[in-house]
Copies of this chain bind each other. A is one copy, B any other.
Amino acid sequence: MKEYIEQNKERFYEELFSLLRIPSISAKAEHKEDMRRCAERLAVLLMEAGADFAEVSPSDGNPVVYGEKIVDPALKTVLVYGHYDVQPPEPLEKWRTDPFEPVIHDGAIWGRGANDDKGQLFMHVKAFEYLVCTGQLRHNVKFMFEGEEEIGSPNLPKWIKANKKRLAADVCLVSDTTMISEKVPSINCGMRGLSYLEVKVVGPNKDLHSGHYGGAVANPINVLCEMIATLHDADGRVNVPGFYDKVVELSRADRKMLARAPFDLKEYKEFLDIKDICGEKGYTTLERTGIRPCLDVCGIWGGYTGEGAKTVLPSEAHAKISMRLVPDQQSGEITKLFARHFKSIAPKCVKVEVKECEGGDGFLIPISSEAYKAAARAMTEVYGIEPVPSRGGGSIAVLAEVQKILGIDPLLMGFGLERDTIHSPNESYLLRQFFAGMESIALFYKYY
């Protein structure tokens, strides 16, 4: 496929950029119309790539782009999953280029979605195009691209159930993860689940003069901080009763296998510019992100946050709290546990509101499957090194549902790298990986 890429890459850029320019931010209601525009553009690209049929299919939320090419019902069927929605670009001031005006420099594509997931799903469309064009396609291929992954895929499970028949496939192929490094290609064999909540602490019914009331009336910011501070114990464990009840300890053998992934603490700290790491006592860094659950405050706000010194005892304080879960924990159950616990620790001087947001369960993927083996063979050929199985710390909420509803395993051929800083300012996607991904995917079809 190398040659095909060489001949067509300017067109590839232009096509991908036409997706990247659309600010399809699912977290913000104001982008509803952008979601539709992006879905429609993607359906057009699928048809142009050689699909028999592609449509923008309504769901209870943003539409799903579905397309397919049925070569022969007797052949194996690959269901490709991806998402065309992106994370909000904030904080905007930290971007070196416009997040929605993609550019190529330093050997990478820069912009929101360049990697996650428009860039990665686009590799599938182009590998498919190549196989169709060159008469090599020996699989039925189905595409399911959703517009709500970044908000936890609240409506996709229902859509999958309703379309269960036409989604029938042998494997669900996904590029929406990272590999360890270019020198250590890896295939994700498990992801964490997610619980996400928004909490609000309300003190007095109006902002108060901090001189007139300070010291006598509970300050909701101070209270929120005190409540959040109790959510971890001294060993770095999440201090929510019941949180670890269903967490299964990995065997020594499993931990040993995961420890094969190379990890350089000095490099890690330098990359992040931190003096020290932290986390749950008794686990390595890769274990802390791969096989252990955790809790993070993703956002906090309250009171006066503008320039200068405004004295105020505010009425409210807010936080967004996410928990990454291991496959044995149920997102719905943990969300409820957290909500109940958080309300229970509120002092009487404040009111606490908890809003449960969408989450999803974690899952594991067997590395003994034909699909995994085909992917490993393809990547070995492209990278010249056999990929190692790894455990991703992130979450793709809907894939546990795919397992449950469609009865097929996902296969996570992810070509992102940590340096791509997805979800952060200056998201990028290395061109080398973009093209190596296309080649690997094309070879996957060959060996599967």
Tell me the A191-211 residues at the B interface (CB within 8 Å): 191-192, 194, 196, 198, 203-211
- Segment of A4-12, A33-41, A244-252, A420-428 in the binding face: A420-428
- Among the listed B27, B203, B208, which residue makes an inter-chain contact with A307, where contact means beta carbons less than 8 Å apart? B27
Asked if A395 CB lies within 8 Å of chain B CBs, one says yes
Asked if A253 CB lies within 8 Å of chain B CBs, one says no
Asked if A256 CB lies within 8 Å of chain B CBs, one says no
B217 touches A349 (CB 8 A): no
A116–B196 Cα distance when bound, in Å, is 42
A292–B216 Cα distance when bound, in Å, is 10
Tell me the A280-312 residues at the B interface (CB within 8 Å): 280, 285-286, 288-289, 292-312
Tell me the A217-232 residues at the B interface (CB within 8 Å): 217-219, 221-222, 224-226, 228-232
Q: Hey, which chain B residues are within 8 Å of A26, CB to CB?
A: 308
- Among the listed B205, B225, B232, B289, which residue makes an inter-chain contact with A272, where contact means beta carbons less than 8 Å apart? B205
B317 touches A300 (CB 8 A): yes
Asked if A433 CB lies within 8 Å of chain B CBs, one says no
- Among the listed B217, B298, B395, which residue makes an inter-chain contact with A274, where contact means beta carbons less than 8 Å apart? B217
| A142-163 contact mask (Cβ, 8 Å, vs B): 1 or 0 | 0000000011100000000000
B289 touches A304 (CB 8 A): no
A262–B212 Cα distance when bound, in Å, is 16
A225 touches B297 (CB 8 A): yes
Q: Which residue of B lies closest to A191 (CB)?
A: B211
A308 touches B27 (CB 8 A): yes
Using A272-B217, A277-B349, A289-B212 as known contacts, say yes or no to A304 and B299 having CB atoms under 8 A apart. Answer: yes
Q: Hey, which chain B residues are within 8 Å of A348, CB to CB?
A: 275-276
A357 touches B324 (CB 8 A): no
Asked if A213 CB lies within 8 Å of chain B CBs, one says yes
A424 touches B312 (CB 8 A): yes
| A312-323 contact mask (Cβ, 8 Å, vs B): 1 or 0 | 111001111010
B294 touches A314 (CB 8 A): no
B313 touches A278 (CB 8 A): no
Using A215-B279, A228-B222 as known contacts, say yes or no to A314 and B298 having CB atoms under 8 A apart. Answer: yes
B90 touches A304 (CB 8 A): yes
Asked if A2 CB lies within 8 Å of chain B CBs, one says no
Q: Hey, which chain B residues are within 8 Å of A50, CB to CB?
A: none
Asked if A328 CB lies within 8 Å of chain B CBs, one says no
Distance (Å) between the CB of A312 and the closest chain B CB?
A: 5
A306 touches B214 (CB 8 A): no
Distance (Å) between the CB of A32 and the closest chain B CB?
A: 12
B313 touches A296 (CB 8 A): yes
Using A90-B304, A151-B308, A225-B225 as known contacts, say yes or no to A214 and B28 having CB atoms under 8 A apart. Answer: no
Q: Hey, which chain B residues are within 8 Å of A208, CB to CB?
A: 272, 421, 423-424
A318 touches B292 (CB 8 A): no
Tell me the A341-363 residues at the B interface (CB within 8 Å): 347-351, 357-358
Q: Hey, which chain B residues are within 8 Å of A426, CB to CB?
A: 206
A273 touches B205 (CB 8 A): yes
Tell me the A391-431 residues at the B interface (CB within 8 Å): 392-395, 418, 421-426
A272–B191 Cα distance when bound, in Å, is 46
Using A217-B272, A222-B297, A289-B212 as known contacts, say yes or no to A206 and B424 having CB atoms under 8 A apart. Answer: yes
Q: Hey, which chain B residues are within 8 Å of A286, CB to CB?
A: 216
Q: Which residue of B lies closest to A210 (CB)?
A: B296
Asked if A102 CB lies within 8 Å of chain B CBs, one says no
Q: Hey, which chain B residues are within 8 Å of A302, CB to CB?
A: 297, 299-301
Asked if A120 CB lies within 8 Å of chain B CBs, one says no
Tell me the A86-113 residues at the B interface (CB within 8 Å): 87-88, 90-91, 94
Q: Kindly list 5 other residue pairs between chains A and B, CB separation below 8 angstroms, not including A207-B425, A217-B279.
A: A28-B306, A88-B308, A214-B295, A215-B289, A311-B322
The 5 closest A-B pairs by CB, nearest first: A27-B308, A211-B394, A215-B294, A229-B229, A299-B303
10 contacts between A and B (CB under 8 A): A91-B207, A204-B272, A206-B425, A206-B426, A207-B421, A211-B395, A216-B279, A216-B289, A219-B297, A311-B322
